[in-house]
Amino acid sequence: MTARAGVRRSLLLVAAVALAACPLPVRIPTVRTQSLTVSLSSPGGAGARTVVPDYTNQIDEIEVDLHSNDGYPDPAASYCHAAPWQVTVTDLPVGSWNLHVVARKGGVDVATADDNGLTLTTGAPLSVPITLTFTAAAATGSVLFTVRFPDTVGIDWVQGVIEETLNTSTPPLSSVGGYTSGTFQFDSLPTGTYSLAMTFRRGGSGGTSAGIFREKVVVLGGFQSSGWVNGSGGLDTERTFAPNDFLESNASLSGLVVSSTFTSGFSSATYSYVGTATGNATVTFTATASISGEYIQYGWDGAALTEIGSGVVSLAHSIGDTNVLQVHVTAPDRQTTHDYTVTFARLNSMAYGGGTLTYEVDASGNVTIDSAAEIADLNVPAAIGGHPVTALAQNMCGYQDASDIALPITLVIPDSVTSIGRSAFEGCAGLTSVVFPASLASLGPRAFCSCTSLGSVSLPPGVDIPDGCFMLCSNISSLTIPDGLTYIGSNSFLWASLTSVTIPSSVTMIGWGAFRSCLSLTTVNIHAVNPPTLDAVNPPPFDSDFALTAINVPTASVAAYKTAPVWVSNYAAKIQDGGW
């Protein structure tokens, strides 16, 4: 080694020692931060023209909690105790955050909101509007809703009615700055949604109607509903009417009375009805407007419309087999219209079997027999006046005794009949047997209830047995249920004298108490592979503590029946292999 090389090596060693003694500085990355602002949204999400709780002036605290999805420490909870209910959290590391908000009233949690996966960036601060989901803070809530209208419209009386509860509010009116206002108040309403009908009159409570308006009201227990969601989705503290609002779009009648019979009562919001008229009767009607300024017209069977005044009795109209009355109502705005229709079926009568049958013929030419009175020997006719008899109406012969009607020992129902109504033959104690047609598609509940002489029943295929159909027919000892039906109704054979019953494979449900109090019933044969559903609350279909000894089921289904709900708790010991 030369002297120069040795010197060079020594210098390198000195430099290395110096670097070891003075290490280079370490660069620590800077955590970038951003701010996030949480604010409550207006509670206007219930839809326009809805009165809702304005929680912004009824809660007293919100708590905002944030959780980092990137492993940063969670900041302490932030609180706000006054409107405008806004919280800003600063110096949050950019990244992904989950937001949880709680609102309180009187120290009790009444609402929450969550917004997960919020992304903070180094750009602009993040603003998050939230909508709270509320729970009731008490059993009932209240409504305090103010309406306001120009003095010039001349209205001096208003009344509000909650239509579901009939709660009524008739507020005093006051005028300030050219506008009259009144505040409806309703207390102790359970949580729910209601309809508020507001009537405006000129000339006091008995004066002329200037308009009827309806608003939806959302009530939340523990809160007061006082905000009105306007057409833009914003929340107003009152509803202000303009003069033109009283040339309004209300095209509803307050009353429609006909000289015959409706099958249901009149309601201004129901537009279709069925009426009946007896024999060659004529029908008149009276339509009453709900507000002044409505224009009412009417016509029969699609004919040209004729004007009629509110409360005026119409000209008489002769009812044929089927007639349709149309009442056409035009609102004061002359744009909005509603049609009320009444379809009339004429109830005809005829001498039959020494008594009287009443019946109606529908538009298709089919006959429904409505009643039979004082008939010595009723065999249901297959046709009347060349029209097929297709239906036997509700209560057709129900509870008529020997002085009114004597049914034949065997009642043969013709092949034209497709339906038998509720209680059609209920209480006909002289009836011993019934021959049902293959055409039958439906039986009404209690159709043959309390036919105490009825000894045997053989039903057509596919017709479900409704509730109470043969209830209290204490003499029934023979029952044939063909395949095809799915339901055997509750109490359908209560107190029958059956000793055995066979239930076909198509049955999927047996109603409660279907064969209850059948004291002689010893054997039940069920061919359904899957155990039919039984009622878990009311009495089971068979009494297991009288004569019942065996419930025979398909071989492959014994285990399923013994473990099925209700079957296992009531009949496990009696279920056995039926060999099929």
3-state helix, strand, coil in the chain (%, to 5): 5, 45, 50
> Per DSSP, what are the bridge partners of residue 102?
63, 112
Report the CATH number of the 34-134 domain.
Answer: 2.60.40.2100
∠ CA 75-78-80 to the nearest 5 degrees?
A: 170
Q: What pLDDT does 357 receive?
A: 85
Q: What pLDDT does 374 receive?
A: 67
Helix (H, G, I), strand (E, B) or coil at 326: strand
Say what the alpha-carbon torsion angle 420, 423, 429, 431 is, to the nearest 10 degrees: 0
pLDDT level of residue 15 (50, 70, 90 thresholds): very low
Say which CATH topology domain 253-345 has: Immunoglobulin-like (2.60.40)
Pairing of strands 410-412, 533-534: unpaired
- Tokens standing for residue 208: 């002329």
- How do residues 416-448 score in pLDDT, each as one tens digit? 999 999 999 998 888 888 999 999 999 999 999
pLDDT level of residue 11 (50, 70, 90 thresholds): very low
258: pLDDT strictly greater than 70 = yes
- Tokens standing for residue 387: 């029209």
Q: What pLDDT does 232 receive?
A: 73
Q: DSSP E strands: which ranges in 353-447?
A: 355-361, 367-373, 383-384, 387-392, 410-412, 419-420, 433-435, 442-443
More confident residue, 81 or 334: 81
- How do residues 80-131 score in pLDDT, each as one tens digit? 999 889 999 999 999 999 999 999 998 899 889 999 999 999 888 999 999 8
Q: What pLDDT does 12 receive?
A: 42
556: pLDDT strictly greater than 90 = yes
- How do residues 356-407 score in pLDDT, each as one tens digit? 888 888 878 899 998 887 666 667 899 998 999 999 998 888 665 444 455 6
203: pLDDT strictly greater than 80 = yes
Mean pLDDT value across residues 342-348: 83
Report the CATH number of the 140-246 domain.
Answer: 2.60.40
Q: What pLDDT does 397 receive?
A: 82
Domain boundaries, given as residue ranges, for the chain: 34-134, 140-246, 253-345
pTM: 0.51
Mean pLDDT value across residues 141-159: 95
For the chain, give the mean pLDDT.
87
| CB distance 532 to 540 below 8 Å | no
* Same fold: 34-134 with 253-345: yes
